[in-house]
Amino acid sequence: MVAGMTIVLLDEFVMTWLNENLQFQQFILTLPLYLRLTFALILGDLGYYVAHRMMHTAPLWRTHKFHHSIREIYWFSGLRTSAMNSLIIRIPYLIALCAFGITQQEMAVVAIGLAAVNFWVHANANISLGRLNYLFITPAFHRIHHSMEARAEGTNFGNILSCWDYLFGTAIQVEETLVVSEKGFTIEREEAVRQLIGV
C-alpha cells in the first residue's frame, strides 16, 4: 500500500511539479551522478529531520506513536512502524531524489542503502565514530531518541546525519544511562489497528 501510494505521489505529483517549476533542473542534470546523489541525500535527510521532528507534535504523533512503543531496540526495530509513518517519512527523500534527477533504477539502490541505515541506527551496538559522531548517527545516539526519560524527549531526530540535531539544538550526547534507560510503552489491544495504520 505504501509503495503504491509513493509511486503515485512520485509520478503524478512530484515529478510533474518539479519538471514544470524547477528552473535549474537542466543544470542539475549536467552534474555527475555522485554529486547529484550526495546533494539529494543531504537535502532529503534535512527534510527527514524536519518531518520526524513534526511527527513528535500533534496531530502527527499519531502516525509515529507505534514506532515508539518498542521496548527492546534491535536492528529490526525500525520496521515496526505505521503505514502513514512509512509514507510521510519517505517523502523528503523522494522529493530530493527526484529534484536531482535520480532515476527509478538508481532510487532502488538508494532505497536499499536507506534500509541499511535503518538497520544501523536501530542496531543494539555501542559503536563510536569518534569526531564523526557530530556528523553521522550512531545506534547509541538514536537509542537515546527512544528513551522514556524526560530529558531525552524531543531529541536526536536525525536519520543519516546527526549534524541537524547539533545545528538545531535537539542533540543529546551519548550517555550510558540514557542509552540503557527504559524504552517503549504498551499499546492497548483496541488501539492496535489504528496504530498500525497511523491515524
Comparing 24 with 184, the larger pLDDT belongs to 184
The mean per-residue pLDDT over the stretch 91-118 comes to: 88
Q: How confident is the model at residue 169 (pLDDT cuts 50, 70, 90)?
A: very high
| 3-state SS track over 92-133 | HHHHHHHHCCCCHHHHHHHHHHHHHHHHHHCCCCCCCCHHHH
Q: How confident is the model at residue 102 (pLDDT cuts 50, 70, 90)?
A: confident
Q: How confident is the model at residue 196 (pLDDT cuts 50, 70, 90)?
A: confident
Contact 144, 152 (CB under 8 A): yes
Comparing 23 with 34, the larger pLDDT belongs to 34
Sign of CA dihedral 165, 69, 93, 109: positive
Q: How confident is the model at residue 46 (pLDDT cuts 50, 70, 90)?
A: very high
Give CA angle at 36 (32, 38), nearest 5°: 115
Give dist(CA 158, CA 164) in Å, integer: 7
The mean per-residue pLDDT over the stretch 105-127 comes to: 91
The mean per-residue pLDDT over the stretch 133-138 comes to: 96
Give dist(CA 124, CA 126) in Å, integer: 7
| Per-residue pLDDT at 26 | 72
Average pLDDT, the chain: 87
Q: Is the pLDDT of residue 96 over 60?
A: yes
Q: In this structure, how many other beta carbons lie within 10 angstroms of the beta carbon of residue 195?
A: 19
